[in-house]
Structure 1
Amino acid sequence: MKLQFSGHESFICKHFWLKKGYDFVIGKGNFNAESAVIELGVGKNMVTSISYWLKSFGIVDHQSQVTQLGDFLFHDKQGVDPYIESLATIWLLHYSLLKTSKASIYTLFFNEFRKGRVDFTKEQFLNFIKRRMEDDEQSFNEKTVGSDLSVFIRNYLNPTYKDTKIDIEEDFSGLLIDLDLIRSFKSENAEGRIVDWFQIENKLQIDLPSEIVLFAILDNEMYGKSIPFKELLVGDNSPGVVFALSEEGLFNKIETIVKDYKGIVYTETAGIRELQIKRTLNKWEILHGYFKN
């Protein structure tokens, strides 16, 4: 799949934009129409950005049709969390952002770049993307990818870190910062210069519901009825990778899943650890069960 960068007009996804955009699409709004600025109550560049984030988070598909996830969350009557009041919803949206792969930088970071390091600088990540694009024989535009990288960091990082060109108040409205995934600190680089470093640690992720983890497992088309623990920990789009879970954190989530759902069994035989799904489960019913409680 061709790697895609930009489209957000340098705006992070704000907390209320997905619901606003969903309602606009349901109301037959046209993001390309001049009236969109008035109907959405934002500037022209923000209209473009809202349209981009709707597709990136999987709220609408590539044909701008509302998805099952969009209706599940934001429908006026049946939506389980239209105003994104639950942290579980943000975890679910984070998962969907990686799964759709429209915004390639998120998938690249969690599934590839981060596996080799915990701490990183912008320069290191930028160089990784450059090499990756060259391997795929794609042209690399440093300005475009650099802008994408800045938005990526701002989407997750609590705005104590501040780019001098960015309005810090704007960043406090970011959708993903409550996940507390990225930390920042200053340290010397290889040349002895003090630079900004960033860090995503694998943790227990205590505030991540096991139902969101189970949804991500059932939603992964690559998994069969028996899934090795290692695949769940480090495989592409695995719970361990997507949610930055430590080995203990993933094991704790699986323990809860096995306890709460009949037909799911965790086995450990001769050093081989597996999660076995012995009956058909509806991933959407599992989410409904979580949000109605």
Structure 2
Amino acid sequence: MSITTLKYTFSGHESFQCRYLWLKKGYDFIKNGGSFTKEDAVVELGVGKNMVGSIRYWMKAFDLLDSNDKLTQLGIKLLDDEGYDPYLENIASLWLLHFHLVTKGHASIYSLIFNELRREKIEFTKDSFLGFIKRLSEQTGTAINPNTVETDFGVFQKMYLRSESKDLDESFAGILTEIDLLRHKIVYTEIIENNKKKENKQEFYVIENTERTTLPSAIVLYGILQQSGTDISLNFNSLEQDPNQVGTVFALNRTGLLTKIEEIVSENSNVVFSDQAGIRELQFKNDSKPDPFQILDEYYGH
């Protein structure tokens, strides 16, 4: 099914980007019997009412909380005190969260940007993104509020873009800035307006396919397993280019994906990479595929 046939969800974050301590704070709150809908949530979490709603939203967007406000397997394994990385100190955990943010689709903007917009252009502006959403709305007959989408774009920017300001409090930084997926550049051009020359400033955002040296191959294998269903043989081109597949989600170039696959094969005896007659496939031996969380258990030493 095409990404563009899915239902779109914008807003819900109360204009707050997810911050580093929020997910652990939300996890502990729910584990200890808390409820985001009760009035005491403000006191228990120590944040304002809008932030309570935002924490709940981001936990669902990252697939740490299900639609019934129950902790997911990922949430428990990652954020429990005895979990993989409750305070998100390992960059692998940020890549893991990014993968779920895009593929879960709870927050539509992330799926649309990584799976769809980048197919049209590696570089984009806020206006070109809004134009993309407008076309999507017209094609699907879906009513989308442009002001809401513009707010979403601002939150997306804060989530991924490293701030150049040294004065910014790290606790306010977006949670995914460290994985360095989004770059920013400003281009100045001269335009004529009312017969006068005027300097025009355009801000471009860039998500370039690279080798992603900070992305562990174990997280790539986890992503492959999460998206492959029951398939035992996986086409390389699909892994590289299809929506919600690792090449697309992690913005890997071909060399980078091949390198990750070579590492996966060298570290997993039941995985082979076949390149015959121009057909390249990642294959699992003996019709046996590991559980995705088994890969994470081994990576994090659990």
C-alpha distance in 2 between matches for 1:152 and 1:290: 29
Please tell me whether the aligned partners of residues 20 and 171 of structure 2 are also in contact (alpha carbons under 8 angstroms).
no
- Of the two, which has the highest radius of gyration? 2
**Unpaired runs of at least 5, structure 1:** none
Decide which moves more: 60-69 or 134-143. 134-143
- Displacement after TM superposition at 1:189 (Å): 7.2
Q: Judging changes above 3 Å, is the alpha-carbon distance between structure 1 residues 221 and 269 closer, same or farther for their aligned structure 2 residues?
A: closer
Letter in 2 for 1:15: Y
Please tell me whether the aligned partners of residues 134 and 140 of structure 1 are also in contact (alpha carbons under 8 angstroms).
no
**Cα deviations by residue, 1:116-151 (Å, 9 ceiling, x for unpaired):** 211110000111011112222111211101000110
**Cα deviations by residue, 1:71-97 (Å, 9 ceiling, x for unpaired):** 1111123x1111111000000000011
* TM-score w.r.t. length of structure 2: 0.91
C-alpha distance in 1 between matches for 2:179 and 2:297: 21
Q: Judging changes above 3 Å, is the alpha-carbon distance between structure 1 residues 157 and 89 closer, same or farther for their aligned structure 2 residues?
A: same
Partner of 1:157: 161
Partner of 1:29: 34
Decide which moves more: 144-153 or 220-229. 220-229
Letter in 1 for 2:260: K
Please tell me whether the aligned partners of residues 274 and 282 of structure 2 are also in contact (alpha carbons under 8 angstroms).
yes
C-alpha distance in 2 between matches for 1:172 and 1:184: 19
- Displacement after TM superposition at 1:223 (Å): 6.4
User: 1:39 aligned to 2:48?
Assistant: no
- Displacement after TM superposition at 1:172 (Å): 4.8
- Displacement after TM superposition at 1:170 (Å): 6.7
Decide which moves more: 215-224 or 14-23. 215-224
Q: Judging changes above 3 Å, is the alpha-carbon distance between structure 1 residues 109 and 190 closer, same or farther for their aligned structure 2 residues?
A: farther
Partner of 2:62: 57
Partner of 1:228: 235
What count of residue pairs does the alignment treat as equivalent? 288
**Unpaired runs of at least 5, structure 2:** 1-5, 192-198
**Cα deviations by residue, 1:236-260 (Å, 9 ceiling, x for unpaired):** 1111111110100000000000111
Q: How well do the aligned residues superpose, as a CA RMSD in angstroms?
A: 1.9
- Displacement after TM superposition at 1:194 (Å): 1.7
C-alpha distance in 1 between matches for 2:240 and 2:98: 17
C-alpha distance in 2 between matches for 1:139 and 1:178: 34
Q: Which of residues 95, 105, 109 is equivalent to 1:105?
A: 109
User: 1:199 aligned to 2:213?
Assistant: no
